[in-house]
Structure 1
Amino acid sequence: MSRLRNLSVLLVASIVLGVAFNLFLIPNEVLTGGVTGLAMVFGILTPINSGIWLVLLNAPIFIIGWMKLGKEFIGNSVFSVVITSITMQYLPVTQVTEDALLACVFGGAIAGGAIGLIIRFYGSGGGADIIGLLLTLKRDIPLGVLIFAINSVVVFISGFIFSWELALYTMISIYITGIVIDRVHTRHVKLSLMVVSNRGEEVKTELLDNLIRGITVMHGQGGYSNTERKVLYTVITRYELALVKSLITSIDPKAFVSVSETVEVVGNFRR
């Protein structure tokens, strides 16, 4: 049921993302950033729909991401991109407003909310999101800064191809999208996770099989029941939380799980 819920959220958010593109951004030639923005540029310049370009440009990025970020994340990302592509393919491009500034504000806000939900449920919109995550594995640079830098490249491309006025509108859209994403899903947050379970060994095995995190196992005793239980402790990223909760629930729905925000992590922590 948890997996079905996650896929349902990804499905709805991906459709909403396609709606933001076809009703607000594309009709006013206000682009978005990164690979999606390039797909929109190619869609405007060629007879091939932007949705098809979105899949073609994301394909090599997904292959690299599969090897570095794991099959669960990439599987959700592929699902999201395909749904967005289908939505853009079959939803008519309709100009809701002729005011480019309104299109930037509402298109950027809707796209940001949709992308934020997709990331929150362990997926991505492909392109810049995955590239940014891959770069953070090498350098401890805020993901938001990386994504904004990657997306800004499209601004300059759109400026040369169309006009610098549209490029500035694009920058507004990218900025608003980034703000909304931060409101929906906080980037670069490290979380301390403690799990108390009667099935601690099974939970530990499941987490080790699906995460790249180490786990400290402690032996605990219930203060009231005096029952012996395994206590698992680890530190994860915010991006992994949805997956971790799903894995724990699938093994022990009655497990006690405590999640708290961690200010700083020093030592051997894989980004």
Structure 2
Amino acid sequence: MYRAIAIIAGSVLIGFAYNWFLIPHKVLSSGISGIAMIIGILTPASTGTMNFLLNLPLLIIGFMKLGKRFVLHTLLSVVALSIALYVIPLRAVSTDPILSAVFGGVLTGIGVGFVFRQSASTGGFDIIAMLLTHKKEFPLGAILSAMNAVVVFVSGFFVNWDAALYTMLSIFVTGKVVDAIHTRHIKLTLTIITRKGEEMKQQLLTNLVRGVTLMNGEGAYSREDRKILMTVISRYELANLKQLIQSVDPEAFVNITETVEVMGLFRRDAY
């Protein structure tokens, strides 16, 4: 329930950013919707139809590579954003297009960051970025900014260069805020002490692409045998892993520390 509320809240915040800051100043849309706009300008094709057709293969790829839950959460975000854009009235909070681009970018980044932290996306290029960060440990906001900048640069030739440049500014701000919130590239070390060592190990190996070290331990006071498991994960994986640990052993002791640097093979599938 918390995850669904966070996704909806983040999507609604993006709706406010669009209708109150970006759209009133004709700051162009980025990502897949930006490509659909360009196609709609150059051809008789409907922008709405092209937006759906361009997103469809990405959702299918996301379903195969990122999981059913990811796609369902992404659909929730898309629906919430669509409703928000319809319900929230168009109004210019500021008359300055530069201030609007900056503050609109900040609000969009916060909304997108909230959605990403729930293992979901807002569709379009977000899915491509999530796929890339599953393969390499790149900052997610930087990838989104690079892909969107290409779209905006092309659109400048066909729409309006002032609006395109304002959009690039907004995209840059959005990318910085997304990285500050999402922090996928930050690494964490988890030390798990549990009575259910073998069961915990199997769950970690099944649900993670990280290596796990298993050690024997003994409670100093209880003198009972314990298993100690240690693994290093990205910040992005923490929410799901905490739920997994709780489902296996609610009494497990878990110590979570931020890792300064990782050397060697970080992903298990790299072996």
TM-score, structure 1 normalization: 0.84
1:151-208 per-residue CA deviation (whole Å, 9 max, x = no partner) reads 1022113312221111110111011111212222224222222211233333333333
The yes-or-no answer on 1:59 pairing with 2:56 is: yes
1:195–1:10 CA distance, 2 compared to 1 (3 A):
same
* 2:98 alignment partner in structure 1: 101
Question: How far did 1:244 drift?
Answer: 0.8
User: Structure 1 stretch 212-221 or stretch 160-169: which is displaced more?
Assistant: 212-221
Q: Is the contact made by 2:138 and 2:185 (CA closer than 8 Å) also made in structure 1?
A: no
Q: Work out whether residues 74 and 120 of structure 2, in 8 Å CA contact, stay in contact via their aligned partners in 1.
A: yes
Within the candidate set 228, 233, 240, 1:231 is matched to 228
What is the identity, as a one-letter code, of the residue corresponding to 1:256? F
Q: How does 1:1-271 map to 2 (within 5 A)?
A: 4-38=1-35, 55-138=52-135, 141-262=138-259, 263-267=261-265, 269=267, 270=269
Q: Distance in 1 between matches of 2:25 and 2:46?
A: 18
Aligned residues: 267
Shift in alpha-carbon separation, 1:203–1:260, aligned structure 2, 3 A = same
The residue type equivalent to 1:26 in the other structure is: I
Q: Secondary structure at the residue paired with 1:125?
A: coil
Q: After the TM superposition, which of the residue ranges 22-31 and 68-77 deviates more from structure 2?
A: 68-77
2:166 & 2:172 partners in 1: Cα distance? 10
**CA distance in structure 2 between the aligned counterparts of 1:91 and 1:31, rounded to whole angstroms:** 18
CA apart distance, 1:49: 8.2
8 Å CA contact 1:195–1:256 kept in 2: the answer is yes
One-letter amino acid of the structure 1 residue matched with residue 183 of structure 2:
T
Q: CA deviation at 1:63?
A: 1.1
Instruction: Structure 2: give runs of 5+ residues left out of the alignment.
Output: none
Q: 1: distance between equivalents of 2:186 and 2:232?
A: 10
Contact 2:94 2:100 in 1 (8 A): yes
User: What are the superposed Cα offsets for residues 82-130 of structure 1, whole Å, 9 maximum, x if unpaired?
Assistant: 2212222343333333321122011111011111111122222222222
In structure 1, the gaps of 5 or more residues are none
Checking the alignment, whether the CA contact within 8 Å between 1:158 and 1:166 is kept in structure 2 is no
Q: In structure 1, how many angstroms separate the alpha carbons of the residues matched to 2:37 and 2:105?
A: 14
SS at match of 2:189: strand
Equivalent pair of 1:65/1:130 in contact (CA under 8 Å): yes
Structure 1 55/244 Cα, relative in aligned 2: closer, same or farther at 3 Å?
A: farther
Q: 1:161 to 1:105 in 2, by over 3 A?
A: same
SS in 2 for 1:206: helix
| C-alpha RMSD of matched pairs (Å) | 2.9
Cα separation, 1, equivalents of 2:38 and 2:167: 12
